[in-house]
Amino acid sequence: MSNNNYPLPFLFLLITLSCSFHFSTAKSSTYNVIKFGAKPDGITDSTKAFLNAWTKACSSPYPAAIYVPQGKFLLGTVTFSGNCANKAISITIDGTLIASSNYRVAGKGGTWLRFQHVDGVSIRGGVLDGQGTALWKCKNSNKKNCPTGATTLEFIGSKNIMITGLTSINSQMFHVVFNGCQYVKTQDVNIVAAGNSPNTDGIHVQMSSHVTIIHSKIRTGDDCISIGPGTNSLWIENIECGPGHGISIGSLGWELNEAGVQNVTVKRVTFTGTQNGVRIKSWGRASNGFVRNIFFQDATMVNVQNPIVIDQNYCPNNKNCPGQASGIKISDVTYEDIHGTSATEVAVKFDCSSKYPCNGIKLKDVKLTYKNQIAEASCNHAAGAALGLVQPHSCL
Ligand X SMILES: *[C@@H]1O[C@H](CO)[C@@H](O)[C@H](O)[C@H]1NC(C)=O
Residues with catalytic roles: 245
Nearer to ligand X, 266 or 347 (CB): 266
From the CB of 105, what's the least distance to ligand X, in Å? 37
From the CB of 211, what's the least distance to ligand X, in Å? 8
CB < 8 Å & 24+ apart, contacts of 214-218: 214/185, 214/186, 214/187, 214/238, 214/239, 215/187, 215/188, 215/239, 216/186, 216/187, 216/188, 216/189, 216/190, 216/191, 216/240, 217/189, 217/190, 217/191, 218/189, 218/191, 218/244
From the CB of 158, what's the least distance to ligand X, in Å? 18
From the CB of 126, what's the least distance to ligand X, in Å? 26
Nearer to ligand X, 44 or 233 (CB): 233
Residue 187 makes contact with ligand X by CB under 6 A: no
Neighbours of 196 (CB within 10 A): 10
Region at 172 (left for phi over 0; alpha for psi -120 to 50; beta for the rest):
alpha
Nearer to ligand X, 92 or 265 (CB): 265
> CA–CA separation, 278 vs 210, rounded Å?
20
Residue 28 makes contact with ligand X by CB under 6 A: no
Residue 235 makes contact with ligand X by CB under 6 A: yes
CB 185 within 8 A of CB 212: yes
Nearer to ligand X, 138 or 205 (CB): 205
> CA–CA separation, 266 vs 315, rounded Å?
26
Give the one residue of 233, 288, 341, 359 binding ligand X; rule: CB under 6 A.
233
Nearer to ligand X, 94 or 336 (CB): 336
Nearer to ligand X, 86 or 265 (CB): 265
CB 200 within 8 A of CB 177: no
Nearer to ligand X, 265 or 380 (CB): 265
From the CB of 181, what's the least distance to ligand X, in Å? 14
Q: Which amino acid is at 272?
A: T
Binding-site size, ligand X (CB under 6 A): 4
From the CB of 229, what's the least distance to ligand X, in Å? 17
Hey, which residues does 136 pair with through a beta bridge?
A: none
From the CB of 249, what's the least distance to ligand X, in Å? 14
CB 345 within 8 A of CB 307: no
Residues in contact with ligand X, shown as a per-residue x/- string from 304 to 343 under the rule CB under 6 A:
----------------------------------------
Among positions 242-281, residues that touch ligand X (CB under 6 A) are: 263, 265
Residues that bind ligand X (CB under 6 A): 233, 235, 263, 265
